[in-house]
Homo-oligomer: A and B are copies of this chain.
Amino acid sequence: MNMAFTIKEASERLGCSAPTIRYYEKEGLLPYIKRDKHGNRLFEQDHLDWIRLMKCFRATGMKMSLLKQMVNLALDGDSTIPQRKSILNQYKEDLFRRQSELAEALDAVNNKLSIYEDIEMGRASSESQLLNKMENQQHSASDREG
């Protein structure tokens, strides 16, 4: 067994472009890719799994430079596990920060949307200053211009 994939197969399975994969390899994020006799890359399942993981981390804000640090540490063996844990724990903090940013944004969007509905239903007006139209944060809080 030990099935190997061409770059095209890999890119199809992963949903990321072949140039991107090559770029990752060039940047050192993807060590130990073997080649066939013609110099064509051969990806194994392990590589696909690692790329998939990188994709997941990248999509949530991890920098390539951090991925590279982790690769380099991994290549240095198990003695670097504490450092890798520390990187991942920092990244985890980052994820939590992003979660609360998302929650905040969701609140703000919902607030805006309900303001718009109020305006549509005639329950509120879009105030004087033009910016207020986008900007009317209070939403039926203070109405001292009766």
Interface residue ranges, A against B (CB under 8 Å): 31-32, 46-47, 49-50, 53, 56-57, 59-60, 70-71, 74-75, 77-78, 81-82, 84-85, 88-89, 91-92, 95, 98-99, 101-102, 104-106, 108-110, 112-113, 116-117, 119-120, 126, 129-135, 137
* B contact residues around A77 at 8 Å (CB): 126, 133
Partner of A113, one of B46, B75, B88: B88
Q: How many angstroms between the C-alpha atoms of A120 and B129 in the bound complex?
A: 62
A-B contact pairs, 24 of them (CB 8 A): A31-B131, A46-B131, A46-B132, A49-B137, A50-B134, A53-B108, A56-B101, A56-B105, A59-B105, A60-B101, A70-B134, A74-B131, A77-B126, A77-B133, A78-B119, A78-B126, A81-B120, A85-B116, A88-B109, A92-B106, A92-B113, A95-B106, A98-B98, A99-B102
Are the CB atoms of B95 and A130 closer together than 8 Å?
Answer: no
> A91 — which chain B residues lie within 8 A by C-beta?
109
Chain B nearest CB from A20 CB (Å) reads: 18
